[in-house]
Structure 1
Amino acid sequence: MDVRADQRQSQTLSPRLQQAVRLLQMSSLDFGLMVRDTLGKNPFLEPDDGADDADAPEAIEVSDGAMDGASFNDEPERVPVEVGDGGLESDRDLWHADAAAGNRQASDGDTSALDLMKAEDSLTMHLHAQLNTMPLGERDLTLAHVVVESLDDDGYLRTPLNELLDCVALDPPATLADMQIALKLVQSLEPAGVGARSVGECLELQLHQIECEEQRAIARTIVGEHLNALATRDTAGLARQLGQAPACIERVCDRIRRLDPRPGWRWGSSHIPYVVPDVIVKKIRGDWSVQLNPAVVPRVKLNQVYVDLFQRHRTSDDSEMGAHLQEARWTVRNVEQRFSTILDVAQAIMKRQRHFLEYGPMAMKPLGLREIADEVGVHESTVSRVTNNKYMATPRGVFELKHFFSRAMVSPNGLACSGTAIRGLIQDLILAESTGEPLSDAEITRQLAQQGLSVSRRTVTKYRQMLHIEAVGRRRRLNA
């Protein structure tokens, strides 16, 4: 047996660095939730209201230059506890003083905005309420409730009916015919299309909303027999198979597309995932200024009262509390480091893309991650994490930081142009086209070549789709 000793070098991330990486790649909403969750679990952390402890070394004060040169040492500076005639002389005084401050904050008696929010109504609650107002027997009502409880968030019944028979105990036992009757009953409820077992059935349950009887008959044929052609927008093929004029088929398909393929989405959570910008760009006295959005910067600090109490009475059995204290210190410093890095990257981006703010998308310059990484003094992977799910509010709109990066496309005359600028030029060409003769992708390619931009037709098609602009045939029919 041959035994050898090999020496290898490998890199491992410390727990603090792992936490810093996780915080850096989070979106502002996820980051805020994480900080609030940590505040609730860690007794050594508390929110900083910025009134009494603005000068505390652990407090996070975010301004234009507050994060420049931030220090991230492992051990924070200790704040001495005042002891004197009018100071806090004992642990009991410390504890009661901190508790009194907390009581003052919580005893305002004001009604919270959360108390005034309307209770959300789910799809199952909406359907159960309709069933309870119908003159049904106990057996039929029970089976209908079983079907409602089996619907998914889209409003579809994904479970086979024969499997639902095992979910209800009736005497005599329910049959498959009973479950089919209960399903038809649920499918008659609002919103229309609920209880469907496929997309075709969901659309078919909504066809009664089409007023024209002739269009309704054609729509029923399309939904029942030619659903794939409808999905691929094969209007010409449908017109040939159904023996109808293409214009008539186009009107019917447009009417079908206005139906709701996911009726359950109307009755779900009313929460709307808003995009909250991490940085805000403003023009102040002729110069562009980049600032952190104070709405997404959680003000958190160490609870120095609890830190002093713990360190004064710390024993060898307090390893768990010691871990909480270390986590609290890491959290404070990693929060500072996160926003310092975001601000530095955003400032470096705007330094190179200021023409975009002045003149629009066509003035966007090619930009790579390495260029920003060299400017800020970090690795490219750090810039990639910073620009992911981070947003910048500008006078021209809110953009993800990744929006400002694009590969350079070199024209025959040697000039470099970004993909964003080419997309803006394509959009301007389409907006200026004649309504009677819209531009095809090939024609757009030729016009770009005349302006010195060598772009393939496939690239033009991809950029047009990214702009959510219909193809030339579709635009011609809509204009007609």
Structure 2
Amino acid sequence: MMKPGLQLKLSQQLTLTPQLQQSIRLLQLSTQDLQQELEQFMEMNPLLERADGFEQDGDQIPVASSDNTVSEGDSVAGDEWQVAGEALGELSWTAASGSSDDEESDWGQQTPEALSLRMHLLSQLGEVSLSERDQALAMLIIEALDDDGYLSASWDELAEMCPEDWCPEEDEWRTVLHHVQHFDPAGVGARHLAECLDLQLQRLTVSDTQKLAREIVCSHLDLLGARDYTKLKKRLGCDDDALRQAQSLIAGLDPKPGRPFSEEKAHYIVPDVIVIKEKGQWVAHLNAEAVPKVRVNQLYASILGRQRGGDGKGLQEQLQEARWMIKNIQQRFTTILRVTRAIVARQWKFFEYGEVGMSPLVLREIADELGLHESTVSRVTNQKYMMTPRGIFELKYFFGSRLDTDTGGACSATAIRALIKQLIQAEDANKPLSDSQLSDMLANQGVIVARRTVAKYREAMQIPPVNLRKAL
């Protein structure tokens, strides 16, 4: 029988302080989410305030200086980022941002609600002279339309929405639908694509081209989609010029007439960094507009500084939290700038020559160079944007897989996609290049890419296959 006893055991355990947890969390957020996070923090902590118009002091986030750098101060050091990354791995932190359905959020920036397709059609229905019964049936049809303006419900499904004693016949439904199909936008109320296009063609001036286009969309739309021009000309009994004009007319129609009424608001991107060329070198700077200008409220801080004992303990904690927030935001932008400058140094050929100059790059390379964990670099490059003379790009855009060339070098997947796009743009539209031909042409340039890889990249760029790129 064993006797009970005491044993002393030493062990190491990695813990993340609240400050470090907040630092990692802020690094994950996009610029817009960071602004929302700050607004929520300032609502709960009166010791942090906006610093616009104030002189800078020790408890304020430094705005980009002459060289657009921010000092690290006593914020989280790089080795702590490494330790935190190892502890967290690729754990995704959930960004606590304001809910989009919060009734009190952004109340001062609300805009009038856009006119919906339903309201647009109902306003036209009120101007048409119909019986009360037909008006009610038309409203049911309008309610059943999808976002693209199509009627996908069957007559039986529509009838189930009616009172039991109504029992509308199919001819009655067709008559009411005919009225709805005369509303704007042209093509609304169609039950399939061919009908949608034909409704739009019916509103155009009658001509030989219009008649040919109507015959195509009503009876031969599948051949037009497959670009089988030889069979189309044979069935229609027309020449190349007539078919080309009809095709151009059809291409100008809208296959989704209801979509403009359901478009989401555009989301504007505020770049975190700006890349410009200075004295022949590409240099990254912080975007001062993206750096929040916040500071500790000096009035409250001075009052707390004069207090002694346990009075104001809660405010003392809020003061410390406010200072942590400032330091962690400073650390966030310091890390973003460091990573961005490392990316620019590796990808300078992109800024000079475009996508074809993109070099293969993985997160591990930047992490090793800066002494960060790979997961930290992943967080930095997610939803952070760089403004360049070539456009605005997410930082993760500059990372891509490596493909070897026959000369022993390497080429990035982004550069290969750019080469494929250039070759297709320069092809003869009457004899477009197949994936095999594209693979051979890349091989002639020293880039060995299999046909199936070319097809994968082409599809990723949403470029149609060879048979759908053929023109008359």
TM-score by length of 2: 0.72
Q: Does 1:235 align with 2:238?
A: no
Q: Does 1:27 align with 2:37?
A: no
**Corresponding residue for residue 386 of structure 1:** 380
1:329 CA displacement: 5.1
Which residue among 173, 182, 188 is the counterpart of 1:194? 188
Q: Structure 1: which amino acid aligns with 2:64?
A: V
Which residue among 208, 213, 216 is the counterpart of 1:215? 213
**Corresponding residue for residue 287 of structure 2:** 293
Which residue among 444, 447, 451 is the counterpart of 2:445? 451
- Determine the C-alpha separation between the residues in 2 that align with 1:244 and 1:298: 68
Counterparts in 2 of 1:268 and 1:471: CA distance versus 1, 3 Å: closer
**Corresponding residue for residue 49 of structure 2:** 46
* Structure 1: runs of 5+ lacking an equivalent: 1-6, 74-112
Counterparts in 2 of 1:242 and 1:360: CA distance versus 1, 3 Å: same
Q: Does 1:134 align with 2:128?
A: yes
Q: Structure 2: which amino acid aligns with 1:27?
A: S
- Determine the C-alpha separation between the residues in 2 that align with 1:67 and 1:449: 47
Counterparts in 2 of 1:369 and 1:235: CA distance versus 1, 3 Å: same
CA contact (8 A) 1:60 1:301 kept: no
1:353 CA displacement: 1.4
CA contact (8 A) 1:235 1:246 kept: no
What does 1:56-205 align with in structure 2 at a 5 Å threshold? 56-63=58-65, 64-72=67-75, 120-157=114-151, 174-177=166-169, 182-196=176-190, 199=193, 202-205=196-199
Counterparts in 2 of 1:332 and 1:262: CA distance versus 1, 3 Å: farther
**Corresponding residue for residue 389 of structure 2:** 395
1:57 CA displacement: 0.9
CA contact (8 A) 2:62 2:70 kept: no
**Corresponding residue for residue 357 of structure 2:** 363
Q: Structure 2: which amino acid aligns with 1:189?
A: F
CA contact (8 A) 1:280 1:394 kept: yes
Q: Structure 2: which amino acid aligns with 1:352?
A: R
Q: Structure 2: which amino acid aligns with 1:54?
A: Q
1:141 CA displacement: 3.7
Identical aligned residues as a percent: 42
- Determine the C-alpha separation between the residues in 2 that align with 1:176 and 1:15: 67
1:295 CA displacement: 2.8
Question: Which stretch shifts more, 234-243 or 144-153?
Answer: 234-243
* Structure 2: runs of 5+ lacking an equivalent: 1-9, 77-107
Counterparts in 2 of 1:314 and 1:457: CA distance versus 1, 3 Å: farther
CA contact (8 A) 1:367 1:404 kept: yes
- Determine the C-alpha separation between the residues in 2 that align with 1:432 and 1:369: 34
Q: Structure 2: which amino acid aligns with 1:292?
A: L
Which residue among 384, 398, 403 is the counterpart of 1:404? 398
Say which SS state the counterpart of residue 295 (structure 1) adopts.
coil
Counterparts in 2 of 1:331 and 1:216: CA distance versus 1, 3 Å: farther
**Corresponding residue for residue 414 of structure 2:** 420
Provide Cα deviations, 1:332-367, integer angstroms capped at 9, x if missing partner. 344323322221111000111112222333332221
- Determine the C-alpha separation between the residues in 2 that align with 1:20 and 1:58: 17
Q: Does 1:332 align with 2:334?
A: no
Question: Which stretch shifts more, 17-26 or 356-365?
Answer: 17-26
1:407 CA displacement: 1.9
Question: Which stretch shifts more, 361-370 or 301-310?
Answer: 301-310
Q: Structure 2: which amino acid aligns with 1:216?
A: R
1:281 CA displacement: 0.6
Counterparts in 2 of 1:174 and 1:29: CA distance versus 1, 3 Å: farther
Say which SS state the counterpart of residue 296 (structure 1) adopts.
coil
1:182 CA displacement: 4.8
Q: Structure 2: which amino acid aligns with 1:67?
A: V
- Determine the C-alpha separation between the residues in 2 that align with 1:198 and 1:424: 36
Counterparts in 2 of 1:472 and 1:137: CA distance versus 1, 3 Å: closer
Provide Cα deviations, 1:47-77, integer angstroms capped at 9, x if missing partner. 220x22421413352344542324337xxxx
Counterparts in 2 of 1:336 and 1:237: CA distance versus 1, 3 Å: farther
What does 1:454-473 align with in structure 2 at a 5 Å threshold? 454-467=448-461, 469-473=463-467
Provide Cα deviations, 1:415-438, integer angstroms capped at 9, x if missing partner. 122223333333444455566655
- Determine the C-alpha separation between the residues in 2 that align with 1:127 and 1:313: 70
Say which SS state the counterpart of residue 258 (structure 2) adopts.
helix
What RMSD over aligned residues (CA atoms) do the two structures have, in Å? 4.4
1:369 CA displacement: 0.8
Counterparts in 2 of 1:13 and 1:193: CA distance versus 1, 3 Å: farther
Counterparts in 2 of 1:323 and 1:201: CA distance versus 1, 3 Å: farther
Provide Cα deviations, 1:248-271, integer angstroms capped at 9, x if missing partner. 777756654543333222224573
CA contact (8 A) 2:213 2:247 kept: no
CA contact (8 A) 1:44 1:325 kept: yes
CA contact (8 A) 1:144 1:182 kept: yes
Question: Which stretch shifts more, 198-207 or 340-349?
Answer: 198-207
Provide Cα deviations, 1:105-156, integer angstroms capped at 9, x if missing partner. xxxxxxxx969x7763332332232222223445544554454455444334
- Determine the C-alpha separation between the residues in 1 that align with 2:192 and 2:146: 12
**Corresponding residue for residue 105 of structure 2:** none
Say which SS state the counterpart of residue 393 (structure 1) adopts.
strand
**Corresponding residue for residue 91 of structure 2:** none
CA contact (8 A) 2:224 2:232 kept: no
